[in-house]
Amino acid sequence: MRAIDIMTTRVATVSPDTPVEEIAQRMIERGVSALPVVDEQGTVVGIVSEGDLMRRAELGTERRTPWWLALLTEPEERARRYIKSHGKTAREIMTTPVHTVDEHTSAAEIAALLEERRIKRVPVLRDGKLVGIVSRANLLHGFAMERTRERPPSDRELRAAVMRALSEHAGVRDEFIEVTATDGVVHLWGFVPTQTELEAARVAAETAGAKSVANHLRVVAPPIRGA
C-alpha cells in the first residue's frame, strides 16, 4: 500500500500571505487540523497546524518566559517565538521545513516518518507539486481496508504463522506450547513462565490472523536450578 492508495486528494491550502484569522476559519470550515502553505508556483513551502495557532497573543496564550530563563535563551529563539505568537500571515507562523513524500512512498515508510518526526500528517508530491496529504487517520483507514481485503489463511497456514510469530517476534519461550487451528480458531495449549508471555502468545495468535483465540496456556514458574 502506497501514499497514492490512501491519501486525501482534495486538500485545502493557503498562500504565504493568507491572514492568520482566515487560516483559522478555513480549518474550522473544512474540519481539518492543518493546511499546507503553497506559493504561486505550486510549491509547498510550509504547513500551518493547530499547534502553530495555540500560542497566540490574541488569545493570551503566548509563551511567557520567566525573566531568569529569558537570560539563558538565545535572542534569536526569543525573536522566533515572538513572530510565532504575533505574526499576521501564514508566512510568519508556518512550520518549515516541510517533510514530504511522493505518491509511491509506502505506507510503512510514511508511518515511520510520522513517528520519527513526531508529526501528524505529510504532504504528497508528484513532480514537486502537491497532489494529496496523508494523515495518521489515513494510515488507520488504509490498514482497516487492507485487513478486510486479505484472504483468510488456511488452518495449516494459520498454525504455521502463529508458531513463527511465537518463536521469532513475540518474545515467548515456546518450548512447552502447542498450537492447533480449526476453522480459523487458534487454540494455545501448554505452559509459559510468566503472565506477560501468556498475553503475548494470545496477541501473536491474533496478529497472525486468527478469527479468535482460545488461550488454554497456564503460567508455571520454571524450576530453580540446583533445587
71 shares a domain with 178: no
For residue 132, what pLDDT is reported? 94
For residue 148, what pLDDT is reported? 60
% helix, strand, coil for the chain, step of 5: 40, 25, 35
| Domain of 137, in residue numbers | 3-146
187 shares a domain with 204: yes
Flag whether pLDDT at 134 surpasses 70.
yes
Residue after which a domain boundary falls, among 146, 170, 200: 146
Flag whether pLDDT at 187 surpasses 80.
yes
Percent of the chain with pLDDT over 70: 85
Please report, as a single letter, which amino acid is at residue 94.
M
For residue 73, what pLDDT is reported? 59
For residue 149, what pLDDT is reported? 62
Average per-residue pLDDT in the chain? 86
Which residues on adjacent β-strands are paired with residue 225?
A: none
Tell me the mean pLDDT in the region 213-227: 78
Which residues on adjacent β-strands are paired with residue 216?
A: none
Residue after which a domain boundary falls, among 129, 146, 163: 146
Provide the number of structural domains found in the chain. Answer: 2
188 shares a domain with 131: no
176 shares a domain with 129: no
Q: pTM of the predicted model, to two decimals? A: 0.60
Residue after which a domain boundary falls, among 146, 175, 202: 146
Which of 115, 124, 96 lies closest to 11, judged by CA? 124
**153 falls in which pLDDT band (50, 70, 90)?**
confident
pLDDT in tens, 75-88: 676 677 777 778 89
3-state secondary structure 71-122: CCCCHHHHHHHHHHHHCCEHHHHCECCCCCEECCCEHHHHHHHHHHHCCCEE
Top-confidence residue, 59 or 24: 24
37 shares a domain with 97: yes
15 shares a domain with 97: yes
pLDDT in tens, 113-123: 999 999 899 99
Tell me the mean pLDDT in the region 104-132: 92
The three cell numbers locating residue 10: 482534495
